[in-house]
């Protein structure tokens, strides 16, 4: 079975943790321990979030600019996204390599993803990136850099445009690597957002945006003809009435039934949307659940399982 596993940014760096190399490596080690057993019996493609990491790099670039060490626009989000693909991919490769049999090939691909210059997302930024701030800190950064902020729970975080992924440019080398038994790490952070010049010329350029990792992972799963799409996050599934005493995890559901729910755009919404898109293909299955539960999500015994014809089932709230 061919499986795309999308590691959420919060799965790689828990909320409130310091964004240090040591903290990220430890979380990636935990992820590798959950993924390694799956690679023994299945073809695995890994994608990952990068919101906290790309936001931190943007902040560092802004600090360098303020100190006279750079110019405005030297470090746009597409370049920072490429940096995080290399950084996170390196850590995943190393930690996975420490667990897999010697000789198992792994490869990280910088992955460009095409977006539409007319996508309405460019006028409505929604994608969270970077660390958490107080309202006063957010106001100061808005005044200094023109950034947009929204509340993420109690604190505030920067938000940027999140256009729809249209095409993965490196899909052919991804397929070639899979055909040769490689565990492929690609489409990190939703891929590097790129577009052709709007004047009709075939000139490719980067875009100041962050593509949603789950939507890009669903596209990746479709274009690689995967059988299963897993979205690993920091909760054990999708919940009805989340945040209330009546909250219940959805155990199994059809895409149509799950799509009818109301899930926040900034958190579970894109995962639900991506799961429904992929699971609407006959014979395909999507699962949303906790990072540590990846092997049991494959075995259909944990997470929220989404597939055509599934009976809607929830956990007991007793």
Interacting residues of 260 by C-beta distance below 8 A, sequence separation 6+: none
What is the C-alpha to C-alpha distance for residues 110 and 119, in angstroms, rounded to an integer?
23
In this structure, are residues 77 and 209 in contact, taking their beta carbons and an 8 Å threshold? yes
Active site residue 241: no
> Taking the CB of residue 257, how many other CB atoms lie within 10 A of it?
15
Residue 229 backbone zone (phi > 0: left; psi -120 to 50: alpha; other: beta): beta
Would you call 271 a catalytic residue per the annotation?
yes
- Choose the catalytic residue: 8, 10, 81, 130: 10
The one catalytic residue in 9, 55, 130, 289 is: 9
Q: Point out the catalytic residue in the list 8, 27, 190, 213.
A: 213
Of 30, 53, 38, the C-alpha closest to 3 is 38
- What gap in Å lies between CA 178 and CA 182, rounded to an integer? 5
Q: Which residue in this structure is represented by tokens 């040769």? A: 180
How many whole angstroms separate alpha carbon 178 and alpha carbon 176?
5
- The β-bridge partners of 194 are 114, 206
Catalytic position from the list 127, 188, 191, 284: 127
For the chain, the residue count is: 318
Tokens for 80, please give them. 């920072």
From 89, 271, 289, 303, active-site residue? 271
3-state helix, strand, coil in the chain (%, to 5): 40, 25, 40
284 has catalytic annotation: no
Does residue 138 sit in helix, strand or coil? helix
Catalytic positions: 9-10, 127, 213, 271
């Amino acid at each position: 079975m061919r499986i795309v596993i999308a590691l959420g940014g919060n799965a790689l760096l828990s909320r409130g943790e310091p964004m240090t190399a040591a903290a990220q490596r430890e979380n990636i080690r935990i992820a590798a321990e959950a993924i390694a057993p799956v690679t023994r019996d299945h073809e695995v493609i890994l994608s990952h979030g990068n919101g906290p990491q790309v936001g931190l790099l943007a902040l560092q670039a802004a600090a360098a600019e303020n100190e006279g060490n750079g110019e405005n626009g030297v470090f746009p989000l597409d370049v920072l996204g490429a940096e995080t693909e290399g950084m996170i991919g390196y850590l995943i490769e190393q930690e996975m390599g420490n667990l897999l049999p010697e000789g198992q090939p792994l490869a990280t691909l910088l992955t460009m993803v095409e977006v539409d210059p007319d996508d309405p997302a460019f006028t409505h930024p929604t994608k969270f990136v970077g660390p958490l701030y107080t309202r006063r800190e957010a106001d100061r950064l808005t005044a200094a850099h023109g950034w947009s902020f929204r509340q993420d729970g109690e604190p505030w975080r920067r938000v940027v445009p999140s256009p729809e992924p249209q095409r993965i440019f490196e899909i052919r080398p991804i397929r070639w690597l899979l055909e040769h038994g490689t565990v492929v790490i690609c489409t990190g952070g939703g891929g590097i957002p790129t577009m052709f010049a709007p004047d009709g010329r075939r000139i490719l350029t980067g875009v100041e945006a962050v593509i949603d990792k789950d939507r890009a992972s669903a596209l990746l799963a479709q274009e690689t003809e995967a059988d299963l799409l897993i979205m690993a996050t920091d909760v054990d599934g999708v919940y009805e009435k989340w945040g209330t005493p009546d909250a219940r995890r959805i155990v199994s559901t059809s895409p149509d039934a799950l799509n009818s729910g109301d899930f926040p755009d900034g958190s579970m919404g894109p995962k639900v949307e991506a799961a429904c898109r992929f699971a609407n293909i006959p014979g395909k299955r999507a699962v949303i659940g906790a990072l540590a539960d990846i092997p049991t999500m494959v075995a259909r015994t944990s997470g929220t399982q989404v597939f055509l014809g599934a009976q809607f089932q929830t956990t007991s709230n007793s």
